[in-house]
Amino acid sequence: MDKWLNSHWFARAVALLLAVMMWMVVNLETEQTNLPEAASQPVLIDSVNLHVKYDTDRFQVVKQQRTVKVALESNNPFYKHNLFPADSYEVYVDATNLGKGTHRVPVQYKGFPDEVKVGIIPNIVEITLEEKKTVEREVAVEMLGQVAPGYTAGEPIVKPFRALVRVPESQVDKVAAVKASVDLEGATSAIKTTVPLKVVDKSGNVIQGADVVPLTVEVNIPVTSPFVKVPIKLNLTNEMPNGYSLASVDMNVDEVTVFGPKEVIDALKATTYPGPEIDLSNITSDRLLELKIPIMDNIVKVEPEYLKVSLKVVPSTVKRLEKIPIRISGLSEDMQAKVLSTDGQEMSTIDFDVIGAEQVLGNLRQEDLQVVADVSNMPAGVYEVALNYIFNQSDYIMTSASAPKKVTIEITNKQR
């Protein structure tokens, strides 16, 4: 081994081998550097959305190619393994200066880096522009669902009630209506809402791409509950001051409309509705009152809301009523009864004074009043029974202080 290392022929052989290796390294690097760019494989992006730029105020695109393919080529290996975000670039055709009709236009792009070669497949596409026309249609309200049971939806009110529709000329005859849809499901009160408009054809299908002005409308739909019209009765409380009487009580309405649940309304149909209360104890002159009608439990509302009442007040007069029959009520079928005077004699009538307005007392007839003694649940015997004076016009007439309050009644068993 030492002989080889000291031999000048061995040193020359090693030097030659090193020289050949250096030549091979240099020439191989040069060959790789000079490879043609065509050897780089392009990246293909499918189904890229194709946008059309055009005069949207005058025209509508009715035919176009929706997507294209994009081929990207670059020596930068980054772009071979990282796709471009869809929102970083745009592929489009520019038809802003074109009129109606069919046109062949080149596909353009923007947003790709300068070092990337871009190819569009196809690079020329065909589009068709149609001129827009404007038509006017009345807004129709489409009521969806059902109001609550017993309630009724009224006629809708729409503001504004007409709309302008712009569509391609070929679709003008397809515009059947402009609709505003409102959900009524379960409603128990009036509906007020703002809803978007939609343009539909004769089959009720929405016409895509139709422009409508305004975009929304205000819709008001009255929703009424079950109701009934019934007479209203004032609640006059306490007595007039001494020396004064009511000559008349006039109201601006005799009936009111009462709204509420069906079961409540059904129960009111055969009755009167209780009106506002008027305290007579301090009234000594004519009055014109405007009173709020009370809302009973479970009642939704009453129309009208207020009641106008006119009270005519006059000086009191006294009238003597004679031989007014005394009626006995509540007597058992197997019993008989008679009214006894203070001296024990049987009596059937009574005399007493009444107080009221002169005109009212002048029209008072015997059949307009009853004097009743109630003996319900009383067995045989003698009793002091209270008298009940009943007037058809009880708000205008009162008995005098001297009128008998009680009578003596004898109850006996019928003879068999």
Report DSSP letters for 41-70, one per residue: PPEEEEEEEEEEE--TTTEEEEE---EEEE
CA–CA distance, 329 with 288 (Å, rounded to integer):
40
DSSP class of 89: -
Question: Is the model more confident about 255 or about 114?
Answer: 255
Question: Residue 6 — very low, low, confident or very high, per pLDDT cuts 50/70/90?
Answer: low
> Per CATH, which fold does 227-315 belong to?
RNA Polymerase Alpha Subunit; Chain A, domain 2 (2.170.120)
Digit-coded pLDDT (tens) for 339-392: 999 888 999 999 999 999 999 999 898 888 999 999 999 999 999 999 999 998
Domain limits of the chain? 43-131, 132-224, 227-315, 318-413
- Report cis status (omega within 30 of 0) of the bond before 149: no
Query: Tokens for 242?
Result: 């001494």
Give the mean model confidence (pLDDT) for residues 296-317. 93
**53, 57, 179, 214 from 166: Cα distances, Å:** 19, 9, 15, 11
Give the mean model confidence (pLDDT) for residues 285-291. 96
pLDDT of 4 > 60? The answer is no
How far is residue 11 CA from its own chain's centroid? 106
CA–CA distance, 312 with 285 (Å, rounded to integer):
7
pLDDT at 36 (0 to 100): 46
Collapsed DSSP state (helix, strand, coil) of residue 2: helix
Give the mean model confidence (pLDDT) for residues 40-56. 86
- Architecture label for domain 318-413: Beta Complex (2.170)
Per cent of the chain over pLDDT 90 is 62
Query: Tokens for 180?
Result: 């505003």
Q: What is the number of other CB atoms lying within 10 angstroms of the CB of residue 343?
A: 6
pLDDT at 270 (0 to 100): 86
Question: Residue 21 — very low, low, confident or very high, per pLDDT cuts 50/70/90?
Answer: low
Query: Tokens for 298?
Result: 């479970």
How far is residue 115 CA from its own chain's centroid? 61
CA–CA distance, 318 with 377 (Å, rounded to integer):
36
Equal fold, 43-131 vs 132-224: yes
Question: Residue 9 — very low, low, confident or very high, per pLDDT cuts 50/70/90?
Answer: low
Rounded to 5 degrees, what are φ and ψ at 342?
-65, -25
Give the mean model confidence (pLDDT) for residues 85-90. 86
Question: Within 13 A of 72's CA, how many CA atoms are on the CB side?
Answer: 23
Digit-coded pLDDT (tens) for 52-77: 999 888 888 888 999 999 998 887 77
CA–CA distance, 65 with 99 (Å, rounded to integer):
18
For the chain, give the mean pLDDT: 87
pLDDT at 60 (0 to 100): 85
pLDDT at 148 (0 to 100): 85
45, 72 in Cβ contact below 8 A?
A: yes
Could you please report the per-residue DSSP string of 220-288?
A: EE-EE--EEEEEEEEEEESPPPTTEEEEEEEES-SEEEEE--HHHHHHHTTS-EEEEEEE-TT--S-EE
Consecutive H or E run containing 104: strand 101-106
The CATH number of 132-224, from 2.170.120.40, 2.70.98.10, 3.50.30.10, 3.30.450.20, is 2.170.120.40
The CATH number of 43-131, from 3.10.110.10, 2.170.120.30, 3.30.950.10, 3.40.50.300, is 2.170.120.30
pLDDT at 123 (0 to 100): 92
Question: Residue 2 — very low, low, confident or very high, per pLDDT cuts 50/70/90?
Answer: low
Collapsed DSSP state (helix, strand, coil) of residue 142: strand
pLDDT of 31 > 60? The answer is no
pLDDT at 261 (0 to 100): 83
Q: What is the number of other CB atoms lying within 10 angstroms of the CB of residue 63?
A: 10
Question: Is the model more confident about 252 or about 13?
Answer: 252
Per cent of the chain over pLDDT 70 is 89
127, 61 in Cβ contact below 8 A?
A: yes
CA–CA distance, 201 with 110 (Å, rounded to integer):
39
pTM: 0.52
CA–CA distance, 141 with 340 (Å, rounded to integer):
78
Question: Residue 33 — very low, low, confident or very high, per pLDDT cuts 50/70/90?
Answer: very low
pLDDT at 35 (0 to 100): 43
